[in-house]
Amino acid sequence: MRQLIIIGSGPAGYTAAIYAARANLKPLVVASSVEAGGELMNTTEVENFPGFPEGVQGPDLMTKMQEQAERFGAEVVYDDVTALDLAGSVKRVTLGSGRVEEADALIFATGSAYRKIGIAGEERLSGRGVSWCATCDGFFFRERTIAVVGGGDSAMEEATFLTRFASKIYVIHRRDELRASKIMQERAFANDKIEFVWNSAVTDILGEDAVTGVQLTSTVDGSTRELELQGLFVAIGNDPRTHLVHDQLELTAEGTIWVDGRSSRTSVPGVFAAGDVIDPTYRQAVTAAASGTVAALDAEHFLAALDEAGTPAPDADQIEGLPVL
Ligand SMILES: Cc1cc2nc3c(=O)[nH]c(=O)nc-3n(C[C@H](O)[C@H](O)[C@H](O)COP(=O)(O)OP(=O)(O)OC[C@H]3O[C@@H](n4cnc5c(N)ncnc54)[C@H](O)[C@@H]3O)c2cc1C
């Protein structure tokens, strides 16, 4: 049996693996069969991860994180977790291959998925004008014409934030009114760089190597037209990847995994969670990495406190110095 299994190989999973491996816990990282490396594998330049003044390509950053974790003894397996049994003190993890792994502790770092529009060009032009993150990519659109798709608070927040960079921003919405809170709406309406395009759905993204425009289809009469622009920010929601633990771990109202205060402790002793799967707000590579560190330190403390029979000591989940919540 292993001491620690980490599920997920994004910045949270690999950072947890670096810390856990350096603590000699020999963690197994279940990296996923098709999405190893996490969301940054889908982007090009990352300019806001500290330590890379010239920027770094997303896939290069993730390869380096993996190498760093393996250098200290983390074992990476390219498979998916298909089932979890978290009930007992031994955590059971079933992989797509049918293999079952067991461990005393588990770190759940499966990230979250930005909702996609689901149209042609969206995947191909991801990182080439199509983005899901204004904080990450807004800087690339200085003095450009761009659009934000969505009608909720996050769409208004992204659009308002993007006015710092872009010269013109269309907000494209399927209906003729917004879901966003009154205050967010008013802020967006008051900004003269923002123009609303009502009753319209983006049905195609135009451009070979970079976005040059979008095709809009009217949700009222089905007519189509093209809008010239260089960037498209999709802000139609985000789904934390929690389906494996819905009935086993407590979730928050936002659908993220509940953790105890600033720690990574979930509602089940010995199970820790990190990264975007616990974060409804910040969702950045560096915050996910930091959260992976917290999870590894919490897991390390938990494991150190296990008694010889493998039963958690009464205070095994409590880190000294952190408030009891
Ligand atoms: C296109 C794009 C560009 C971005 N650009 C930036 C940027 O420039 N700067 C920045 O700071 N942030 C950026 N972000 C956000 C950043 O990528 C995320 O905040 C960060 O990757 C979250 O890390 P994570 O480890 O929590 O999750 P993820 O990176 O999502 O990793 C989760 C991992 O878990 C795996 N997984 C899920 N389910 C299973 C399972 N059942 N079995 C095994 N593995 C599983 C996934 O395959 C994946 O490997 C960008 C996001 C996107 C989509």
Instruction: Give the pLDDT score at 56.
Output: 96
State in Å: Cα 284 to ligand 1 middle: 9
User: Catalytic annotation on 60?
Assistant: no
Contacts 24+ apart (CB under 8 A), 284-287: 284/48, 284/135, 284/136, 285/10, 285/11, 285/40, 285/46, 285/48, 285/49, 285/61, 286/11, 286/48, 286/49, 286/50
Q: Which residues are paired to 113 by β-bridges?
A: 239
Task: Note the helical H segments in the chain.
Answer: 11-22, 58-71, 134-137, 153-162, 182-189, 285-304
**CA dist., res. 47 & res. 29, Å (int):** 27
**pLDDT tens for the chain, residues 1 to 325:** 999 999 999 999 999 999 999 999 999 999 999 889 999 998 888 999 999 999 999 999 999 999 999 999 999 999 999 999 999 999 999 999 999 999 999 999 999 998 999 998 999 999 899 999 998 899 999 999 999 999 998 899 999 999 999 999 999 999 999 998 899 999 999 999 999 999 999 999 999 999 999 999 999 999 999 999 999 999 999 999 999 999 999 999 999 999 999 999 999 999 999 999 999 989 999 999 999 999 999 999 999 998 655 555 545 555 555 543 3
Which pTM was predicted? 0.86
Give the helix/strand (H/E) hosting 140. none
Instruction: Give the pLDDT score at 144.
Output: 97
Q: Pocket residues for ligand 1 (CB within 6 Å)? A: 7-13, 30, 32, 35-40, 42-43, 46, 48, 80-81, 109-111, 114, 126-127, 132-133, 136, 241, 244, 275-276, 283-286, 288
Instruction: Give the pLDDT score at 316.
Output: 53
Instruction: Give the pLDDT score at 42.
Output: 80
Burial label for 289, CB within 10 Å (0-12, 13-18, 19+), is buried
Beta carbons of 46 and 61 less than 8 angstroms apart: yes
Site to probe by mutation for ligand 1, drawn from 110, 112, 123, 243 as the one with most ligand atoms within 8 Å of Cβ, is: 110
User: Catalytic annotation on 176?
Assistant: no
Instruction: Give the pLDDT score at 44.
Output: 82
- What is the residue-wise DSSP string for 39-83? GGGG-SEE--STT-TT-EEHHHHHHHHHHHHHHTT-EEE---EEE
Instruction: Give the pLDDT score at 312.
Output: 55
